């Protein structure tokens, strides 16, 4: 039996009080400011006058930010992940590589803190409930970490354990990091970050609600019961608390590691995940909106896809689902008038959107819909579609007209679709997209 003091990985304590988290954020801001000032003085001594943003965005400062946010976990790390998502497009490669750490494992809790957390949840003698408890987490993220265990009655469990104080620190973390972003000038001038940060705050509260995630786990298990293509871990209510989510441990290979699998295997995985997105939206009105590749495993032998992490499930109102179906149908038929009407209905644009900008948005949408209109399988591995769409998006981003920020539900659906596309591209899959959308026409 493994106990919480039997590990060679010490981890870092999660700062669980608001004051301590504010102190850590202040130290981070002070460290960045000091490094920026020192860099400015060095450049001035050389007769140079660098821009402030160039002094801020250095590898040293990027390393400070990534290290501190990964140790704080919670909302601070989650917002850092959002900031790093497109770092490769706007920052030097060496800085993007450092910030990419925020999208991988966080620092785990040290054994003593883990023991205290589980003692508070299950009582002092909690370890007696297990034949084996692996103190080394199999995953550590912004909200919590996951451990393998085997119960006295032989159940193999994956235990998702929330970091202490994370739920209560979300609002203050968001406020603190918002101030840091404004002070540093990291956000583009004139960009209002309030809608993004408010949505991040809402999403974090949902992800920190393990009872809600357990309900979503049960919901998706019911939707996919008896199907051969997917596995949803079963929830074990007798080990669940507001800060612990217990489910079946299901082994598998990370989906992104199957890039050298046979073509048919890669095609089948991509086809099933794309079809799942359509089912989530059009049949269930409930979607797991986080397209992180780590949320998918593939069972060896059966090649069934294991679905993980239901904290980011969003339930959509019927009118939004109907609007996206109208938008898809308009794109398939290349009906520009219907496409504009549906785009307004789902919030991608408004009636007041300038005609030139609206035309560019609709042209971008039409380009993205082209693979769904083709009778031939779409080859994700050879197409330049993603690059063309990116170029069109960057061109739209240079427009000086007042820009409209779509509602968060619409952005989350876009994010899931885009993430699924990127996964299919990573697998270099060939998929009959027209056949997948046919049942919804």
Q: Which two tokens stand for residue 118?
A: 């589980």
366 is catalytic: no
Which two tokens mark 156? 């193999």
Among the listed residues 107, 173, 267, 290, the single catalytic one is 290
| Residue 191: other Cβ atoms inside 10 A | 10
DSSP output for 85-113: TTHHHHS-HHHHHHHGGGGSPPPPPPHHH
**Who contacts 54 (Cβ-Cβ below 8 Å, separation ≥6)?**
none
> From start to end of 126-240, where are the E strands?
130-133, 139-140, 144-151, 156-162, 230-231
HEC string for 378-427? EECCCCCHHHHHHHHHHHHHCCCCCCCCCCHHHHHHHHHHHHHHHHHHHC
Name the strand (E) or helix (H) holding 246: strand 244-248
**Structure tokens of 211?**
């009872």
Q: Could you list the active site residues?
A: 290
């Amino acid at each position: 039996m493994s106990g919480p003091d039997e590990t060679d990985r010490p981890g870092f304590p999660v700062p669980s009080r608001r004051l301590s988290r504010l102190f850590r954020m202040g130290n981070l801001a002070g460290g960045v400011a000091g490094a920026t000032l020192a860099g400015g003085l060095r450049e001035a001594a050389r007769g140079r006058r660098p821009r402030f943003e160039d002094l801020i965005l250095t590898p040293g400062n990027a390393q400070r930010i990534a290290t501190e946010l990964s140790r704080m976990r919670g909302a601070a790390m989650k917002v850092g992940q959002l900031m790093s998502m497109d770092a490769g497009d706007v920052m030097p490669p060496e800085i993007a590589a450092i910030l990419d750490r925020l999208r991988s494992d966080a620092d785990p809790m040290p054994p003593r803190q883990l023991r205290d957390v589980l003692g508070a949840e299950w009582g002092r003698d909690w370890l007696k409930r297990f034949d084996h408890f692996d103190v080394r987490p199999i995953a550590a993220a912004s909200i919590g970490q996951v451990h393998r265990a085997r119960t006295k009655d032989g159940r193999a469990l994956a235990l998702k354990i929330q970091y202490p104080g994370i739920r209560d620190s979300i609002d203050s973390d968001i406020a603190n990091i918002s101030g840091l972003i404004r002070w540093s000038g990291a956000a583009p001038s004139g960009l209002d970050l309030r809608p993004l940060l408010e949505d991040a705050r809402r999403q974090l509260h949902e992800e920190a609600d393990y009872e809600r995630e357990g309900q979503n786990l049960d919901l998706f298990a019911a939707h996919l019961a008896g199907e051969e293509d997917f596995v949803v871990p079963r929830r074990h209510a007798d080990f669940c608390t507001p800060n612990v989510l217990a489910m079946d441990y299901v082994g598998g290979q990370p989906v992104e590691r199957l890039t050298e699998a046979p073509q048919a295997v890669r095609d089948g995985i991509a086809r099933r995940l794309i079809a799942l997105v359509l089912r989530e939206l059009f049949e269930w009105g409930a979607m797991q909106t986080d397209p992180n590749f780590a949320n998918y495993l593939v069972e060896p032998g059966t090649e069934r896809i294991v679905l993980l992490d239901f904290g980011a499930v969003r339930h959509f109102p019927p009118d939004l689902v109907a609007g996206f179906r109208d938008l898809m149908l308009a794109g398939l038929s290349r009906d520009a008038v219907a496409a504009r009407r549906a785009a307004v209905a789902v919030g991608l644009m408004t009636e007041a959107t300038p005609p030139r900008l609206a035309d560019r948005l609709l042209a971008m949408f039409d380009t993205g819909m082209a693979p769904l209109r083709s009778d031939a399988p779409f080859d994700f591995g050879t197409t330049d579609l993603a690059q063309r769409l990116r170029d069109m998006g960057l061109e739209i981003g240079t427009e000086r007209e007042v820009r409209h920020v779509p509602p968060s539900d619409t952005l989350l659906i876009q994010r899931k679709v885009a993430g699924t596309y990127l996964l299919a591209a990573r697998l270099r899959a060939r998929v009959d997209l027209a056949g997948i959308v046919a049942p919804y026409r």
